[in-house]
Amino acid sequence: MEKTIETNMPNKRATYGIYNWGPCVLKIKISEEFHQLLIKEANESKKEENLYQDKLAGIIKEEYKFRDRSLFVPYFSQILGVYDEAWQMWKNQKHERKPEYLLTALWANFQRKHEFNPPHDHSDQLSFVIYLSIPESLKKEHKEFKGKSSGPGGISFLYGEGDRQAITYQAAFPEDRDMFIFPAWCKHYVAPFESDGTRISVSGNVAEKVSLNQIRKKEIEEWLPKEIEDVNE
């Protein structure tokens, strides 16, 4: 996008353009209906004790494979549409074709004090995290934090080499119902906190159908009912 500004140059005006750079990270607010559904399913998944740590980078004791992933699909189709619109504006380029996605992984995180996620990335094309419950004690701890980092419980996204004239770091302290969607290759981390209480979130990965080989596609589709396996429908 080009803009014109007044300057001290001879012609008095200058036109300039700004080029977006790096990954497109989107934050949106999910609906209260979806929020309540996810809380219920996260707690039900915890009861089944299907631990997921062996597939994850986090130093978090309680991470569980989602009990019923199919419930997520109807809501996520709309959310992916929002991300695609944001991506097209970010890149100033229209999709040559509408992406067709499959939900490849979904798990619940129950994070307690001193637990954290070190810098890491994910598999497939897109990843996301949805924050379901933020303890009041953590909100207070973060409010009182005076440092320059993301602070206790913050999520940070990293990209590129460090330089004073480059933005290589974006951070946020999430609230209930906040959802972040980002390229799966984008490194990110979650800071620990000191306060008591449990923060609940749901994370997952998404792949484009065209990028999956037939063996892996079959493995993914086995846990999704045929009528709702495609998040674009």
Render pLDDT for 77-130 as a digit per residue (tens, 0 to 9): 789 889 988 988 888 888 777 778 888 889 999 999 999 999 999 988 999 999
- Return d(Cα 184, Cα 121) in angstroms, integer: 6
100 within 8 A of 208, measured Cβ to Cβ: yes
The total of structural domains in the chain comes to 1
Q: Is 153 exposed, middle or buried (0-12, 13-18, 19+ CB in 10 A)?
A: buried
Determine, yes or no, domain membership for 103: yes
Please, what is the Cα angle at 32 between 30 and 34, to 5 degrees? 65
Alpha-carbon distances of 169 from 23, 65, 150, rounded to whole Å:
11, 30, 10
82 sits in which H/E element: helix 73-91
Domain that includes residue 142, residue range: 23-228
Alpha-carbon distances of 202 from 131, 171, 180, 216, rounded to whole Å:
7, 18, 11, 23
Determine, yes or no, domain membership for 16: no
Determine, yes or no, domain membership for 172: yes
Regarding predicted confidence, which is higher, 74 or 215? 74
Encoded amino acid at 57, one letter: A
Determine, yes or no, domain membership for 11: no
First-to-last alpha carbon distance for the chain, in angstroms, is: 33
Place of tokens 């990954």: 23
* 3-state DSSP assignment of residue 129: strand
Determine, yes or no, domain membership for 10: no
Q: pLDDT tens, 160-206?
A: 877 777 888 899 999 999 999 999 999 999 999 999 999 999 999 99
Determine, yes or no, domain membership for 159: yes
Chain center to CA of 120: 13
Mean pLDDT of 50-58: 79
User: 0.75 exceeded by the pTM?
Assistant: yes
Determine, yes or no, domain membership for 17: no
Determine, yes or no, domain membership for 128: yes
Alpha-carbon distances of 43 from 39, 52, 68, 108, 166, rounded to whole Å:
6, 15, 11, 9, 41
Structure token digits, residue 33: 């209906």
- Return d(Cα 60, Cα 192) in angstroms, integer: 10
CATH of residue 47's domain is 2.60.120.620
Structure token digits, residue 161: 């080499």
